[in-house]
Amino acid sequence: MKAVTWHGKRDVRVDTVPDPKIEYPTDAIVRITTTGICGSDLHLYEVLGPFLEEGDILGHEPMGIVEEVGRGVTAVRPGQRVVIPFNISCGTCFMCEQGLQSQCETTQVRDQGMGAALFGYTKLYGQVPGGQAEYLRVPFGNTLPITVPDGPPDERFVYLSDVLPTAWQAVEYAGIPPEGSVVVLGLGAIGDMSARIARHRGAGQVIGVDLVPERLARARLHGVEALDLREHENDLAEVIRGMTSGRGPDAVIDAVGMEAHGSPGAKIAQQVAGALPDPLAATLMQRAGVDRLNALYLAIDIVRRGGTISVIGVYGGMTDPLPMLTIFDKQIQLRMGQANVKRWVDDILPLLTDADPLGAEGFATHTLPLSKAPEAYEMFQKKTDGAVKILLKP
């Protein structure tokens, strides 16, 4: 089969690799019909190379048609249409029963000290072959796949794999009061969808911050008060406080993560890590502060006293410095974590109807064949041609 594989920093290729096979009675083989490129895939493209091996299959946002099932699978059958969550969870352990599928005790990557395994995402998360491919082996066939109806296009459902539940959890964790205010830092795919969900769930004021003109324009079309970071480099916090009764928003969603604009020291640390041999670079990233924390510092500054910060952007450093005195003094609630995909599916599925209130069907800015994956990654990384969300079609 054809699959998108990692070969080094900014070097992904479409290779011919062996087809996946049933390995356990509860496995299913899914023929992928649509798969997304996630913003966190760009971390693999850029800074997380030390945790990858040449030839690793990327991707964690797939959906498709069940082709084959193991003898122990009864919940899905060949021919059914399914979406595959990015976190690999058994659905039956203590953590899964708490709705914490990202911490699944069956698939925790204990030798790395990490939570549940992920499709297509480094040694830290199990080095499991990903879904930017023609076929995918899916474990836990009775509990992991999300069955979706025939009829509507893939673009209506594919975001159940990551974007929709990640954004839903970001808003849930933000705890925005009815008619309250929220600032979304970063209007890429997750930030954009978080803003849409916040408005849908009753936020009275949604303010978005980014510096990419196409992202700002796109957010404004959905009722977001979008601020251009380039115009407010030195006064953004004061501008936002002025928009929120002088005290700051009730909640802030950090949808940026480790690659925040305006963090030169950590950018240098990431560049240094990228220049080291893989074992040394991995040690640096696991034991040092290499994140660009400007977005998180901004969130701490602007959120009102007693407010909540929801961190959904990915961070990777182990000793990143935080202003704990300020966090404590302002009585800030801080919530974060990988999205627990299956936990939110029942809330989201009713919204993927003909009414499509979240605009899922038109959410992608680009749809390309799988063979164009290298060009798609480059476009996404450079933010050219208005790229916010790219789907690949095997």
| Per-domain residue ranges of the chain | 2-162+340-393, 164-336
pTM of the model: 0.91
Q: What is the pLDDT at residue 282? A: 52
CATH number for the domain whose boundaries are 2-162+340-393: 3.90.180.10
Q: What is the pLDDT at residue 259? A: 59
* Model pLDDT for residues 83-101, shown as the tens digit of each residue: 999 999 999 999 999 999 9
Candidates 161, 128, 131; CA nearest to 146 is 161
How far is residue 344's CA from residue 342's CA, in Å, rounded to a whole number? 6
Candidates 28, 29, 106; CA nearest to 72 is 28
Which of helix, strand or coil describes residue 298?
Answer: helix
Q: What is the pLDDT at residue 313? A: 85
With beta carbons less than 8 A apart as the criterion, state whether 254 and 311 touch: yes
The vertex-193 CA angle with 192 and 196, nearest 5°, equals: 95
How far is residue 130's CA from residue 55's CA, in Å, rounded to a whole number? 11
Q: What is the pLDDT at residue 291? A: 52
With beta carbons less than 8 A apart as the criterion, state whether 17 and 3 touch: yes
Which of helix, strand or coil describes residue 118?
Answer: strand
Same CATH topology for 2-162+340-393 and 164-336? Answer: no
* Model pLDDT for residues 194-211, shown as the tens digit of each residue: 999 999 999 999 999 999
Q: 164-336 has which fold? A: Rossmann fold (3.40.50)
Q: Alpha helix (H) ranges present in the chain?
A: 41-46, 94-97, 154-157, 163-174, 189-200, 213-220, 236-243, 264-275, 278-287, 294-302, 324-329, 341-348, 373-382
What does the block give as tokens for 333? Answer: 């609630």
Q: For all residues of the chain together, what is the average pLDDT?
A: 91
Q: What is the pLDDT at residue 266? A: 40
Sign of CA dihedral 179, 182, 186, 189: negative
Which of helix, strand or coil describes residue 315?
Answer: coil
Q: What is the pLDDT at residue 321? A: 81
What does the block give as tokens for 120? Answer: 């297509």
How far is residue 284's CA from residue 30's CA, in Å, rounded to a whole number? 37
Candidates 284, 289, 230; CA nearest to 261 is 230
* Model pLDDT for residues 216-264, shown as the tens digit of each residue: 999 999 999 999 999 998 899 999 999 999 999 999 999 997 655 444 4
Q: What is the pLDDT at residue 274? A: 47
The vertex-315 CA angle with 215 and 45, nearest 5°, equals: 70
Q: Alpha helix (H) ranges present in 47-201?
A: 94-97, 154-157, 163-174, 189-200
Which segments of the chain have a pLDDT < 50? 261-277, 280-281, 283-284, 287-290
Beta-sheet pairing, 225-228 with 366-369: unpaired
Q: What is the pLDDT at residue 294? A: 87
